[in-house]
Amino acid sequence: MKHYPPPRGPLHRRKRSIPAFHPVPVCPRADGWTPQRQVDFIGHLAETGSVLAAARAVSMGRESAYRLRRRHGAAGFAAAWDAALGKPHDPVDLASGKATGLLASYRCEHGRLKVVMYNGRYAAHRRIPDNDALLQWESQTARGML
């Protein structure tokens, strides 16, 4: 008896769970890696499986995407990148400033970005407020640490 592999196509794609991530802090530029471009890149990366195609979809270069992944504070972005490609990755504690490398004020201001996939396609994104960062930031300002 022959065993055939399961059919592949848009309706039979394996569902991937892409973790929410904090956007990588960058200088504000209209032609740079804005938080919107970062989440769109991860969504297109999950859809196509190609770094080059995802970078072109957001009008950025492949090399700049790899540089963004190596920047300070990109632990969550790198974990989302690996999850989008279906690679195993270490979970990142997004509530910890030590794990993410980001200040509580930055995490509170920008929140987390979540990629929404529908039938294997990038459909939308959501911005999730980071309440843990808000509580940490308030406790630090109340103690006079900032």
Supply the DSSP string of 34-94, one letter for each residue: -HHHHHHHHHHHHHH--HHHHHHHTT--HHHHHHHHHSTT-HHHHHHHHHHTT-------T
- Predicted model pTM: 0.78
Please tell me the least confidently modeled range out of 28-32, 66-70, 114-118: 28-32
Q: State yes or no: pLDDT of 145 exceeds 70.
A: no
Please tell me the least confidently modeled range out of 54-63, 67-76, 100-109, 122-131: 100-109
Q: State yes or no: pLDDT of 134 exceeds 50.
A: yes
Angle of helix 75-84 relative to helix 35-48, nearest 10 degrees, comes to: 20
Please tell me the least confidently modeled range out of 15-19, 107-111, 138-142: 138-142
Q: State yes or no: pLDDT of 66 exceeds 80.
A: yes
SS3 content of the chain, % helix, strand, coil (to 5): 45, 10, 45
Q: Which residue has the higher pLDDT, 140 or 81?
A: 81
